[in-house]
Each structure stands twice: as structure tokens, then as C-alpha cells.
Structure 1
Amino acid sequence: MQTISHIRKEYSLKALNEKDVAAHPIDQFSLWWDEAMQSEILEVNAMTLATTDADGMPEARTVLVKAFDKNGFVFFTNYNSAKSQQLEDNAKCCLLFFWKELERQVRINGTATKISTTESIEYFNSRPDGSKIGAWASPQSLVVAGKAWLEETYDYYKERFKHGEIPKPPHWGGFRVQPAKIEFWQGRPSRLHDRIQYTLQENGAWKIERLAP
């Protein structure tokens, strides 16, 4: 049986060079996003969100990006959840996309702010009814009595909203992470990986640099 210390993979699919990347990191992300979409990667929009708690302890979990543009990356959650409370206390956070099929990852450091209620309602209305009811039923991150309690609470809201539209809960909505630094990582042979970093300057321009692997 192969031991953990001997697990290795040689990366060789593609390369990433400073002269070939876009001037703006979101344009570069869009190029990689399109390739990831065409590759039919499972859960292509899954990203790790890292925050810190009141004691400075890092916490990370997987969320789904639902939109991105030059203003930032948007995800949705319960505003009473642990991650939301942590972002309220310290809006600085990190996002990480890992597309193993393309031997790529993108790391984004930035600041999270709540999006408008209008934007949150627009997205909420596009969700399946089951997800809408789930947003009402789950007191996310809190300790609950058990699975049966959750199922009973779900059934309660399902019955409550069975005759009409399901409104967005007041405690549910989106965050937009506005990037200050974005790193594009492309796996390469012999662990000489390509790492291109974009850093936002005070004048609004992006500085592009290569990092050692």
C-alpha cells in the first residue's frame, strides 16, 4: 500500500507566463473560468472561504460562487451563520478555487461586504423551492436538537408557504468579496509551478509579478 508521504503527481498540462496573462485579474479569471466550464469540472463554482474568529483562529469552508465581475466575487449565506458573524467582525478574507482537472488554483485575498437586498432577493427568487424553504428552516451554525428537529422545522415552513411565493428570509443574503490580491497557480513539472500574482495599487492599477513556487 502506498504511504501518504509517497503520494505525488507530476503536473504538466499547461504553463502560465507573465507576457501571456491579461492586464486585469478578473479578465484572466474569466479566461480560466471559461476553460473550467468547458472541462465540465464537477462543482466548478465551489470555492474555499477562509475567515477568522474573534480569537484570531482561522476557519475555512466550501461555498459556491454565484457571480463575479470586476467588483468582486459573490456568494450567499445565512447572515446569522458563523462565517457571516466573522466577516462582520473582520471583513478581510480569502477565497480559493482548486480545479484539479486543469492543475490550477486561484487564491483571492480581499474584503467582504453585504450586497444589496435587491440583489439578494433577485437571486433568492431564482432558487428551487426546496432551497428557499431550507433557508428559512436552518439556524445555520447553531447547535440543534437533532436531525428530526431539522426535518420538523423544514416541514413547518413547507406547510407555511405552500399556497404562495416563498419570500427571502430577512437573515439571508449575499456577500461580495472585493479582491486586493489574486494569485493564479498553474502546476508544472518538477514542482516548478507557475505563480502569477496581481496586487491592487493605490491608483487602481494592478501590479503583475511572478512568485517562486
Structure 2
Amino acid sequence: MLREIRNNYQKHKLEEAKLPEDPIALFDYWLKEAIKEKVQEPTAMVVATAADGIPDARIVLLKEISDGNFHFYTNYHSTKGRQLATNPHVALNFFWPELERQVRVKGTTSKVNDALSEEYFNTRPRESQLGAWASAQSETLTNRQQLEQKYEELEKHYEGEVIPKPAHWGGYQVEPFEIEFWQGRPGRLHDRIQYQKNAQGQWTFRRLSP
């Protein structure tokens, strides 16, 4: 029965006296611990958008943290890309069950510069580069063969050549204004610490009831 599935969290705790002033420092520490503990897909994050008041969510991979911003890459013509063009605000969610931890982020997106997107694109496996060209992300396909045929055509077209970054593909950076750290604790008395950024760009935190 679903009602009987539960875990008693007891691995870690959050203490105010040990918290850094900058939440990015704590996030970086938690992420490194998740990688060290071999959490499956430690950089996976839910990206939730809201266009026309209707929420939408999907999982993407965090690719960089730069100047306190979270970076991910996608097709600008995709559903999420169109939604971000309408409403740049997003919510991110990281969940590392092996560490009994969750991080929630609220922020505002903007596109990274094209040079940075191209730099990252050039590090991707060739198959992924071809996939970025082959897939009209979020558009309707007649069948699987249509996608595979397009991929094969591009593979032949770029054989022996460097694959350029598509103009419709690139990165977003999420500038956070709120970050919440959730640490599972026994008896469902979990630790929740919420950081908020003020108008001067300074972070403050408070403890929330679980």
C-alpha cells in the first residue's frame, strides 16, 4: 500500500550557527557531497515554468554555477523556451534521496551569451550535437523513424566536419532570489532553512516549520 511507504530520515541536520552567509556556498557543498556519495544524476533538477498561469515541469541537468547563477541548456524553440519568453520566472528543485536532502530555488532566467553556449556545445558528445540539430524539440513527430532519418541525414552531412551550434540552441542562467534547504530529520521534524535576497543583493535566512 502506498500509505505504508515511508522512511525515517536521520543522516544529517542543519544548524543555524554553521550556515554560511551565501546559500550558493552551502549548495556547492551539498552538490559535492551528492557527487562524492555517487547519487544517481546528482545534477538533475526539476525546472518548473508558469505561462498563462498554468505550471509545467520537467527535469534537466545543471551544467554550471557561475556568479551565483544556475546554468542549463536547451532548445530555445522548445515548450520551456517559449514559456520562458513569456514569463522568465522559474522554480528549480534538486532531490538527493541518498542524503535525505532537497533544495528549492526560485529565480529569474535570462539567456547566457552565445559565446558561452557555443563553448559548452563544443564539449558535448558528437551524438548530442547531432541530436540538437535533428530534434525540433516539443514539435509533433509522425513516428520514430522520422527523427532517426533526420539524424542519419545530418550524420552524413557533417561527416568529417565540426558540427556548429544551432542558432536555436543555447543556455539559460537562473539568478536566484530565494533558496530553501531541506534536510530530512526523524519524526518528520525536518530542517528547513530559507534564504532570501533583499533589494541590495544581500542574503538573509530564516528557519521554517516543517
- What TM-score comes out, normalization by structure 1 length? 0.97
| Residue number in structure 2 paired with 1:37 | 35
Structure 1 residue 71 displacement after superposition: 3.2
Q: Deviations over 1:153-206 (max 9, x none)?
A: 111111111121000001000000000000000000010000001000111110
CA RMSD, Structure 1 to Structure 2 (Å): 0.7
The one-letter amino acid paired with 1:173 is: G
The one-letter amino acid paired with 1:136 is: W
SS where residue 101 of structure 1 aligns? Answer: helix
1:171 aligns with 2:168: yes
| Structure 2 alignment gaps of length 5 or more | none
Structure 1 residue 69 displacement after superposition: 3.0
| Residue number in structure 2 paired with 1:11 | 9
Aligned partners of 2:103, 2:68: CA distance in 1, in Å? 17
Is the 2:24–2:68 contact (alpha carbons within 8 Å) kept by the matching residues of 1?
no
Aligned partners of 2:68, 2:4: CA distance in 1, in Å? 42
Structure 2 counterparts to residues 21-170 of structure 1, below 5 A? 21-53=19-51, 55-170=52-167
| Structure 1 alignment gaps of length 5 or more | none
Is the 2:49–2:90 contact (alpha carbons within 8 Å) kept by the matching residues of 1?
yes
- What TM-score comes out, normalization by structure 2 length? 0.98
Is the 1:65–1:75 contact (alpha carbons within 8 Å) kept by the matching residues of 2?
yes
Identity among equivalent pairs (%): 46
SS where residue 42 of structure 2 aligns? Answer: coil
Aligned partners of 1:18, 1:138: CA distance in 2, in Å? 47
The one-letter amino acid paired with 2:136 is: P
SS where residue 159 of structure 2 aligns? Answer: coil
| Residue number in structure 1 paired with 2:192 | 195
Across the two proteins, how many residue pairs are aligned to each other?
A: 210
Is the 1:26–1:69 contact (alpha carbons within 8 Å) kept by the matching residues of 2?
no
The one-letter amino acid paired with 2:40 is: L
The one-letter amino acid paired with 1:191 is: R
Aligned partners of 2:50, 2:152: CA distance in 1, in Å? 34
Structure 1 residue 140 displacement after superposition: 0.2
Aligned partners of 1:207, 1:48: CA distance in 2, in Å? 24
